[in-house]
Amino acid sequence: MRLFLLPATFDRSSTLQLTGKDFNYLIKALRLKKGQELMGRDRDGGLWNLRIEKIEKASCILSVSPSEKLEEKTDALPQMRPLKPIVLYQCLPKGRKADEIIKKATEAGVQDIVLVKSRNCVADLEGKENSRLERYDAIVTEAIQQSGSVVPTKVHGVLPFKDIPADFSKRSEGLAHLGIVLHQVRLSENQSDLFSCLRGFDGITAIIVGPEGGLEEEECALLLNCGFKAVTLKTNILRCETASIYAIGAVQTILESCCQ
Amino acid sequence: MRLFLLPATFDRSSTLQLTGKDFNYLIKALRLKKGQELMGRDRDGGLWNLRIEKIEKASCILSVSPSEKLEEKTDALPQMRPLKPIVLYQCLPKGRKADEIIKKATEAGVQDIVLVKSRNCVADLEGKENSRLERYDAIVTEAIQQSGSVVPTKVHGVLPFKDIPADFSKRSEGLAHLGIVLHQVRLSENQSDLFSCLRGFDGITAIIVGPEGGLEEEECALLLNCGFKAVTLKTNILRCETASIYAIGAVQTILESCCQ
């Protein structure tokens, strides 16, 4: 069932004007047309029949009537069923690369992005952590609006590498959990591939991506000793900003596939 | 079996000095150490035992001796077994986004990147096609060196959208072929997901990614009538520069998985 989450300002009146991100989302991104109907849900969980009555340059008018039951009106909206939770542990990359990684991971609906300080990190946020996290929050907000993501992505950091197992165990409380360490070299003979690791898994998945210089073997060993799985992607050696979204695409596609 | 492709200048002498991209690849990217052995292949297919004897700031010295047979010396090198061929049909995005898409697709070993002009493309290369393709070639060369890719990626364009089926059929001559149209809205009731489409497929795969405004329904219909499959990624609505590498990650991971 696909639903449009009504804005917090919705006052249950019979017409609703949408501007800004909601307008962009329905009219620009989903390209809904005048006359099209959709289902809405208000912030208290109430259901509403919506119909697009008028489209202007930067706003649109919807007619609104209460609905008794869920009906499939359009499959253009993303499913409200949340995506399976993914946590990205991203070792701090150089320069503005973190911006790009955070933007793409947010679009794809990653739940938590934890910035990590590992041995080979050249970048350092010391002293500017707060201002940087503020910038990342702005990037996340924009990416959520643009992608219509229903996942409230959060950026956290900066976490020392050795604290990843404790952090992930805190985040996965009560859920099945699986941590995937991406490494460009096979770390053991009997290492599984991504597909075998994830096939049929239903829980919270962590993806650990190293910085430009990669992860040290001891760093990998620390995670593997805590039950994380090392995976070598079946591709060339990717830059860290490519590896993260490549891996998110692969992980999410396997996790969300119905035909396992 | 993992092999290092020896430079074209290799003259079969017993020591070999590597600089530039080869040095960066072995020492910086793969972080091989002094004393480590690896197998090499020359441009005529001959096999060589290599050993890293000395590492300096911007070069390294290898000792070289002929080898009778293939031996697994290091699994740090990517496999010479080529990746299954992928063709990316990328509708022209705005501004510098094409640079980023081409760079990431090349790293991941996409064989051909075909730039396409579709209905909603805002960008236009008319009159500057040659100079732009030159820039793209430079991006590809750099990305191949950095990623140690064994796939000789090529960028082509600009192709009118309607010519995609003919172009793909030319590129897939004699091979099983499968075209995947990424679309943010399900186009039919019984549409397969990416996983079911690709599972066990062994041939050449095309991925078609729309421009910022997406593909028009008629454009999708044109491809579907030619046997292409529409797929809706099980995620939020991605920007085109995110969708391409996300999809490449998903497609390649499924194609290269041994455990299907």
Write the pLDDT tens digit of every residue in B205-252. 999 999 988 899 899 999 999 999 999 998 988 999 999 999 999 999
Instruction: Place B3 in a pLDDT band, splitting at 50, 70 and 90.
Output: low
Which of the two residues, A168 and A145, has the higher pLDDT score? A168
For residue B195, the chain A residue with the least C-alpha distance is: A257
Query: Considering only alpha carbons, which residue of chain B is nearest residue A211?
Result: B29
Q: Which residues of chain B lie closer than 8 angstroms to A108, CB-CB?
A: 235-236, 238, 242, 246
Beta bridge partners of A181: A208, A230
Beta strand pairing status for A37-41 and A47-55? antiparallel
Instruction: Give, as one character, the DSSP assignment of residue A2.
Output: B
Q: How many CB atoms within 10 Å of residue A224?
A: 17
Tell me the shortest Cα–Cα distance from A78 to chain B, in angstroms: 7
- A234 lies within 8 A of chain B by CB: yes
| Shortest distance, CA B9 to any CA of chain A (angstroms) | 24
CA distance A149 to chain B (A): 5
Residues B167-218 have pLDDT tens digits of: 999 999 889 999 999 987 777 777 888 998 998 899 999 999 999 888 998 9
Give the closest-approach CA distance of B148 to chain A in angstroms: 7
Tell me if B234 and A83 make a contact (CB, 8 A cut-off).
yes
**Looking at beta carbons, which pairs linking A41-45 to residues 24 or more positions away fall under 8 Å?**
A41/A3, A41/A4, A41/A5, A41/A6, A41/A80, A42/A6, A42/A10, A42/A12, A43/A5, A43/A6, A43/A8, A43/A10
pLDDT for A259 equals: 46
Q: Which residues of A touch B104 (CB under 8 A)?
A: 238, 242, 246
Say whether pLDDT at A224 is over 50. yes
User: Closest Cα to residue A144, out of A45, A5, A251, A256?
Assistant: A5
pLDDT score, position B260: 43
Average pLDDT, chain B: 88
Q: Does A247 touch chain B (CB under 8 A)?
A: yes
Residues 116-155 on B with a CB inside 8 Å of A are 146-151
* Mean pLDDT, residues A140-167: 88
Mean pLDDT score, B105-121: 95
Q: Residue B76 pLDDT more than 90?
A: no
Query: How confident is residue A1, by pLDDT bands cut at 50, 70 and 90?
Result: very low
Q: d(Cα B40, Cα B60) in Å, to the nearest integer?
A: 15
Pairing of the two strands B112-117 and B154-160: parallel
* Mean per-residue pLDDT, A30-55: 86
Q: How confident is the model at residue B7 (pLDDT cuts 50, 70, 90)?
A: confident
For chains A and B, CB pairs below 8 A equal 159
Q: Is A81 on the interface with B (CB under 8 A)?
A: no
Please judge whether A193 and B237 are an interchain contact, meaning their C-beta atoms are less than 8 angstroms apart. no
Domain boundaries, chain B: 4-66, 86-256
Give the mean pLDDT of B107-117.
96
CA distance B254 to chain A (A): 7
Q: Which residue of B has its CA nearest to A2?
A: B185
Over its C-alpha atoms, chain A yields an Rg (Å, rounded) of 21
Q: Which residue has the higher pLDDT, B27 or B63?
A: B63
Write down the pLDDT at residue B39.
83
- Residue A144's pLDDT is what? 80
For chain B, positions 98-117, list CB contacts with chain A under 8 A: 103-104, 107-109
Instruction: Look at B78 and A249 and tell me if their CB atoms are within 8 Å.
Output: no
Q: Which of B194, B236, B259 sits opposite A107 (nearest CB)?
A: B236
Minimal-distance CA residue of chain B relative to A193? B257
Token code pair at residue B114 = 């075909």
pLDDT at B192: 85
What residue of B is the nearest CA neighbor of A84? B235
A147 CB neighbours in chain B (<8 A) are 236-239
Read off the pLDDT band of A20 (50, 70, 90). Answer: confident
- Looking at domain A4-66, what is its CATH homologous superfamily? Hypothetical PUA domain-like; domain 1 (2.40.240.20)
pLDDT digits (tens, 9 = 90+) for A99-153: 999 999 999 999 999 999 999 998 888 888 889 999 999 999 888 877 767 788 9
Structural contact between residues B205 and B180, judged by C-beta atoms closer than 8 angstroms: yes
- Predicted confidence at residue B84, as pLDDT, reads 92
With beta carbons under 8 A apart, name residues in chain A contacting B108: 235-236, 238, 242, 246
pLDDT tens, A47-85?
889 999 999 999 999 999 998 776 666 666 655 557 899
Q: Using the predicted structure, report yes or no on whether residue A98 has a pLDDT greater than 70.
A: yes
**CATH for the A86-256 domain, from 1.10.730.10, 3.30.360.10, 3.40.50.300, 3.40.1280.10:** 3.40.1280.10
As a whole number of angstroms, the distance between CA B46 and CA B40 comes to 8
> Minimum mean pLDDT among A238-242, A256-260, B42-46, B240-244: which range?
A256-260
Q: What percent of chain B has pLDDT over 70?
A: 91
> Which positions 53-72 of B are in contact with A (Cβ < 8 Å)?
none
| Cα angle value A200/A206/A211 (rounded, 5°) | 135
Query: Could A30 and B233 be called an inter-chain contact, meaning their C-beta atoms sit closer than 8 Å?
Result: no
Confidence bin at B70 (pLDDT 50/70/90): low
Closest CA in chain B for residue A197: B259
- Judging contacts by C-beta atoms under 8 Å, the chain B residues touching residue A195 are 253-254, 257, 259-260
CB of B30 within 8 Å of any CB in chain A?
yes
The pLDDT assigned to B119 comes to: 94
Ordered alpha helix ranges (H), chain A = 20-23, 97-107, 129-147, 164-171, 194-198, 217-225, 240-256
Cβ contact A148–B186 (<8 Å): no
Higher pLDDT, B208 or B9: B208
Contact A178, A206 (CB under 8 A): yes
How many Å apart are CA B149 and CA A237, to the nearest integer? 7
Residue to test with chain B: of A197, A216, A238, most B Cβ within 10 A: A238
Among the partner residues B238, B248, B259, nearest to A195 by beta-carbon distance: B259
Confidence class of residue B75 from pLDDT cuts 50, 70 and 90? Answer: low
Higher pLDDT, residue B112 or A185? B112
For range A26-30, the mean pLDDT: 81
Please report the pLDDT score of residue B159 as a whole number. 96
